[in-house]
Amino acid sequence: MAKERANLESLVQTYQHYKKILSEIEDNKGLLEESDEDMRKMAKEELIRLEPEKETIEAELKILLLPKDPNDDKNIILEIRAGTGGDEAALFVSDLYRMYSRYADTRGWRVEVMDTNPTGIGGLKEIIVLISGQKVYSDLKYEAGIHRVQRVPKTEQQGRVHTSAVTVVVIPEAEDVDIHVNESDIQTDVFRASGPGGQGVNTTDSAVRLTHKPTGVVVVCRDERSQIKNKAKAMKILKSRILEAEQEKQDAEQRGLRKAMVGSGDRSEKIRTYNYPQNRMTDHRIGLTLHQLDQVMEGKIGEVITALRTHYQTELLKQQSEDV
């Protein structure tokens, strides 16, 4: 009930303000009929102030009345994987993880590493994290896709700029009320973790692989020394991936709102380029370019997120107008 009240509060307060503005406009229009010149002049000045405010609030109300994404309030499973580019792509996975972690800090969110696959030079072939907090999915849902980086790799001797790519996947965390997975449908395998991680990780069968037989979804967790903890983390990721697959199937059948989305959200779509030599970040879906890549990589991505949300809302309003 408290959550529902919080969701409605902004709409109700904005509507109450809107009614107050309408009332003031009507009152001042009535004053235009007064015989007192000063009174009429004051009413005109008030109308000049009130009319633009009325239009602004009407625009706000239209956005507040848009259909809500049911996943907006959820935590997310964020998966970042190296694509083309070898070691350089793996290093950029680390950079993107740092960027999202710093942004999460500014929002007061909690970041929990679920699984990592490190390389020998400080990069990450893959990292999976759970980000928990208020409206995490609402903020980060547009980050899914291909992130391209252009820079001179540390291993490059001749100073040539290389292009690498990283895949980002954003999955709303599945709750027990969202999905039920039968234990009999899951195959559990345990094995010894490899790579960096400490003596305990490498000498015990602590790593866990879960396979959901009906869908073929496979999840591996190896970061914890405890097999039980790794299994619990793997189960959380598994449920979220299964739920995502079901939602994608539903979306394929009901394309209405999807067409209004910025891009398709498809993880195969190149959405953004990070150009280090020019200190430039470009989001290709909305044509936004910022010449402050150094700040973006420090987690200052609020401007990008706001621009994406505004564009999406505008497209959704256009679609609703066309439907009407």
What pLDDT, on the 0 to 100 scale, is given for residue 259? 42
pLDDT digits (tens, 9 = 90+) for 46-62: 999 999 999 989 888 88
**Are 120 and 139 contained in the same domain?**
yes
Beta bridge partners of 170: 78
**Are 20 and 149 contained in the same domain?**
no
Instruction: Flag whether 166 is in a domain.
Output: yes
Q: Number of structural domains, the chain?
A: 3
Distance between CA atoms of residues 240 and 180, nearest Å:
11
State what percent of residues in the chain have pLDDT above 90: 45
Q: 144: which residues sit within 8 A by CB, 6+ positions away?
A: 168, 169, 170, 265, 266, 267, 271
Q: pLDDT at residue 38 above 70? A: yes
pTM of the model: 0.71
Q: pLDDT at residue 255 above 50? A: no
pLDDT digits (tens, 9 = 90+) for 256-299: 433 433 344 444 569 999 999 999 999 999 999 999 999 999 99
Q: pLDDT at residue 197 above 50? A: no
Last residue of a domain, one of 11, 30, 64: 64
Q: What is the residue range of 309's domain? A: 76-175+256-323
Q: What is the DSSP string of 28-48?
A: HHHHTT-S-HHHHHHHHHHHH
Task: Tell me the average pLDDT across 247-259.
Answer: 55
Q: pLDDT at residue 178 above 50? A: yes
Kindly report the CATH number assigned to the domain that includes residue 231.
3.30.160.20
Distance between CA atoms of residues 153 and 131, nearest Å:
29
Asked if 104 and 131 touch (Cβ cutoff 8 Å), the reply is yes
**Are 231 and 96 contained in the same domain?**
no
What pLDDT, on the 0 to 100 scale, is given for residue 250? 63
Distance between CA atoms of residues 184 and 316, nearest Å:
42
**Are 18 and 38 contained in the same domain?**
yes
**Are 158 and 281 contained in the same domain?**
yes
Query: In which residue are the tokens 């190896």 written?
Result: 222
Alpha-carbon distance values, 211 to 53, 78, 142, 175, 199 (Å)? 56, 20, 28, 19, 27
Assign 140 a pLDDT band (cuts: 50, 70, 90): very high
Q: pLDDT at residue 126 above 80? A: yes
**Are 52 and 196 contained in the same domain?**
no
What pLDDT, on the 0 to 100 scale, is given for residue 323? 63
pLDDT digits (tens, 9 = 90+) for 15-26: 999 999 999 999
Instruction: Flag whether 69 is in a domain.
Output: no
Instruction: Flag whether 70 is in a domain.
Output: no
Q: pLDDT at residue 199 above 60? A: no
Strands 207-212 and 217-221: antiparallel
Kindly report the CATH number assigned to the domain that includes residue 162.
3.30.70.1660
What pLDDT, on the 0 to 100 scale, is given for residue 155? 67
Q: pLDDT at residue 139 above 70? A: yes
Angle value at C-alpha 87, between 272 and 230, nearest 5 degrees: 90
- How does DSSP classify residue 262? S
Helices 37-64 and 302-323: crossing angle in degrees, nearest 10, is 90
What pLDDT, on the 0 to 100 scale, is given for residue 251? 63
Q: Give me the half-sphere count of Cα atoms (radius 13 Å) on the Cβ side of residue 249.
A: 7
What pLDDT, on the 0 to 100 scale, is given for residue 102? 97
Asked if 142 and 262 touch (Cβ cutoff 8 Å), the reply is yes
What pLDDT, on the 0 to 100 scale, is given for residue 58? 87
Across 199-213, b (16+ Cβ under 10 Å) vs e yields: eebeeeebbbbbbbe
Instruction: Flag whether 71 is in a domain.
Output: no
